[in-house]
Amino acid sequence: MSRMAWLALVLVATACGAPESATDAAGTPTPTPTSSASSSPSPEEPSPSPSRSPRPEKQPEPGTVVTVGPSPFGQMLFDDRRQAVYLFEPEADGRPACYGACEEAWPPVLTDGPPVADGAVEDQLLGVVRRRDGSRQVTYNGWPLYFYANEGPGEVLCHDVVLNGGLWLALGADGRALPT
């Protein structure tokens, strides 16, 4: 192709909105990036390339809500369905030890996202610990949290009881076990 025909082809392609091109030292066409305003996305359109505009950070899903409510033992922790929450005294080191039959009777308080403090619950005392199966268990003041499987909403039947290898206690908003 002659230089004149090549130049005409480039001019026609450029006028029609095709990407611009250049030639290297040997005369071979090489693509060059465009910076024309017509090829950039409008503010209403999503960017076709993640390198042109940063993707918004995905916000984590909210996790399990922990709140405070009344009980015969004083104000204590509950979840948002009013299920009583307990600590297991053998777990003072913050690592879950309730598995197998213990876990069936005392299901861990699990979360998918960061736990959410409600009411008098202190956000800085909430945390998460990984269980052996990789699930995320809510902690409060370092204590892994549990429900009792045989309680309904608002019931508090297992404060200060010894079952499944240890003492179970209800927690107050200050992160300490309620008095026995």
The token duo for 10 is: 């480039």
H helices within 81-138, ranges in order?
101-105
pLDDT tens figures, 48-79: 444 555 666 766 678 999 999 999 999 999 99
2 SS3 class: coil
Give 28 or 75, the one with higher predicted confidence.
75
Encoded amino acid at 88, one letter? F
Q: Which residues contact 45 (CB under 8 A, 6 or more apart)?
A: none
The token duo for 67 is: 């709140």
Write down the domain spans for the chain. Answer: 3-34, 65-170
pLDDT tens figures, 37-50: 444 444 444 444 44
pTM for this prediction: 0.68
